Chains A and B, each alone.
Chain A
Amino acid sequence: MIAKTSLAAETSALSPPGPELTPVSAPSGAVGQLSGWGRLPAPGRELKSERLEAVTRGAVLCRGLGRSYGDSSLPAQASDKVVATLLADRVLAFDPEAGVLHAEAGLSLAEVNRLVMPHGWFPPVTPGTKFVTLGGMVASDVHGKNHHRAGCFGTHVLRLRLRLADDSIIECSPTEHADLFYAAAGGMGLLGHILEVKFRLERTPSPWIWMESERVGNIDEYLARLAESAPRWPMTMGWIDCVSSGRALGRGILMAGRWATPEEAGATPPPPAKEITFPFDLPNWACNPVSVRAFNIAYYYRHFQRQKRGIVTPDQFFYPLDAIREWNRGYGSRGFTQYQCVLPRAAGAPAVREFMQLLARLGGASPLCVIKDCGPEGPGLLSFPLEGTSIAVDMAVTSGIQHIVDRLNEFVIATGGRIYLTKDRFTRAEHFRAMEPRLPLFAAARDKWDPGRRLRSAQSVRLLGDRA
């Protein structure tokens, strides 16, 4: 055994002179491919360094775990300096009494959970995967199953440290440079490179979730049950079958949850999540209308009791898909996209039903269609959620994908809804402008903090008209 004392001579005892030299092994011009979770690649390469502050100097874009689906984290040009934040994963302070965590932007949510759960805390907002970084969570202003209660992640952020386009470093908070803060939360990394994030955690009565789930026969019933659950449950969401039609249109499984009380949870801590890795790319034809239909039917009837209730682990509840690492390989090498939009409450259930019918007509078959409730729009200038119903569908990239996205966007614009940039790859600039009345405010913030539009991504070039 090593006794109590040991000494580690740290890695940094000598480093190459300056971060520019860090990836010395890559001769300039050696360009690989970068891609988001949807696997549509773009030429580019990322610089990795433990020293985020130094390496972001002169950078155009930062990316974390690459979980945004489309081109949010892809460079507009192969030569753009893209920084990977992953190695900058130090916790700078954690107060187990007050529940405040301050860390570098590359720290993953999985690691945050692992660190804070034993102390009775959990992030106040978590997206559907834990393989995201804090920086990415801020840039996307992520929302979770509790959006109707807790709002977006940015609501719980106390402080950000950013490297601005002019290479200066600045701290901002809801009270200090608030305009910058609210533009950066949900700003897709276009206001400044997020270096550090300080945020508030949520106290949990136990490390388990009490979940109730229910099979629901069609979309109208589903929406009614979702609306009923919202006031009673802090977390709600559900999966629906988007290939069945007629009376079964939009049948699905509705899930509601809350943190379990200590009595319900018992004494045992949740076991670590079991993970398997998707071993290879499925061939492109594997995801086809027949297999998608089979999957949907199987998924629906797997929930064979009408109602289920009991305790589950946070991993099972929040991150069911994380159990299969690299599940995006199931769509094959051609890649896929997720279409996520929110339809405002005013448009009501009929709009959601029409959306489902339109989707079925367009043939946008999806094995995974998730519907949930969103609460009121938050303060993030470009944050996705607004009060209404959020719909997310995965679609393999086929030759008709642009047509499908265009038609869906036209429908969303007509209802007064909007799409989620973090998932998007195919929306047209004119459609985005039409669904985003807040765009001039965002442009004004960028005029102030990055008038030369130095920070940009493939997505900002496509949607915001930045030069490539």
Chain B
Amino acid sequence: MGRALSRRLVERGDSVFLLGNEPAELERSAADLVARHPQQALVAHAPCDLEQPAGFAGALDAADRALGGFDTVIVTAGMFASQLQLEQDHELARRLVTVNYAHTVVFCEHARERLLARGGGRLTVFSSVAGDRGRKPVGIYGSSKAGLSVYLEALDHKYHAEGLSVLCVKPGFVKTAMTAGLEPPPFAGEPEQVADDVLRAMLQGRPLLYTPRMWALVMFVIRLLPRFVMRKIGF
């Protein structure tokens, strides 16, 4: 979804600085953006690993220098594993919860400081519908996203008046590498469609986005289900 979104941004004429944990992959992703838009001004990249919070400040500084001051930070990174794997491997569970919640919050804090220092900007972060309710198949993963969603909500409440525009994106089922191998449920989305939705929501300054849209309704119903029902169903 990050790839589709960065393509949209470059197509619009934005300069983009990519962060990721594999330099060789970043290089290729940057080449892709440049090749698709040969007249484009700037696409650059630097390594940054959500498992290494010590590198966050340096990576954001590098982006700042390259872009001459960024005005938007988008975080699509995260870790995923099945409930079964996470229940069997406590170390994996620890890593996942740390990366998806603690380290992502720290990364956002670094970004918040920089954006507020220049009078505001946009912070868009991918959380998940899995964080809306404690559901059997995504309990541990969902809890990490629940924490992230609450953090993003609070960030919006606290700093909106100061010009920080926070968008919490809650993708439903999207056909990406993360969900490969799962049978797509109804309303499964494509990354391109999600990218369009996210870009629109960012530009409108909305604080929360369910995408594909149908998931807003699906999750509305799920949030209303009483607990004795949630115990019974497998969803």
Contact = CB atoms under 8 A, between A and B. Distances in A.
Nearest to B72: A6
A129 interface: no
B67 to A, nearest CB: 4
A87 B176 contact: yes
User: Interface of chain B, helix or strand or loop or mixed?
Assistant: mixed
B50 A6 contact: no
A7 B77 contact: no
B78 to A, nearest CB: 7
A301 to B, nearest CB: 39
A2 B6 contact: no
Contacts of B93: none
| Interface size bracket, A side | 35 or more
Contacts of A23: 177, 180-182
Given A10-B26, A13-B20, A92-B32, A5 B72 contact: yes
Interface residues of B, number: 65
B23 to A, nearest CB: 10
A156 interface: no
Interface stretch (B9-17, B147-155, B216-224, B225-233): B9-17
A45 interface: yes
B32 A14 contact: no
Given A25-B82, A91-B36, A5 B50 contact: no
A15 interface: yes
A9 B38 CA distance: 22
A3 interface: yes
Contact of B35 (A21, A27, A91): A91
Report which residue of B6, B70, B177 has the largest number of chain A beta carbons within 10 angstroms of its beta carbon.
Answer: B177
A4 B48 contact: no
A109 to B, nearest CB: 15
A11 interface: yes
A218 to B, nearest CB: 46
Given A2-B14, A5-B69, A16 B180 contact: no
A356 to B, nearest CB: 42
B40 to A, nearest CB: 11
A9 B71 contact: no
A298 interface: no
Contacts of B203: 1-2
Given A5-B67, A7-B16, A50 B3 contact: yes
Interface in B34-65: 35-36, 38, 41, 45, 48-51, 60, 63
A229 interface: no
A49 interface: yes
B35 A8 contact: no
Contacts of A13: 19-21, 48-50, 75-78
Contacts of A30: 181
Nearest to B81: A24
A8 B16 contact: yes
A92 to B, nearest CB: 5
A241 to B, nearest CB: 38
26 contacts: A2-B202, A5-B14, A5-B70, A7-B70, A7-B74, A8-B9, A9-B73, A9-B75, A10-B19, A10-B45, A12-B26, A13-B49, A13-B76, A14-B21, A14-B78, A15-B79, A23-B182, A25-B178, A27-B84, A46-B180, A47-B181, A50-B177, A87-B177, A90-B3, A93-B35, A94-B35
The 9 A-B residue pairs with the shortest CB-CB distance, nearest first, are A26-B181, A13-B77, A23-B181, A11-B2, A48-B180, A90-B32, A6-B72, A12-B20, A10-B20
Given A7-B16, A7-B63, A91-B36, 7 more contacts: A4-B15, A5-B67, A8-B5, A15-B22, A23-B177, A50-B3, A115-B36
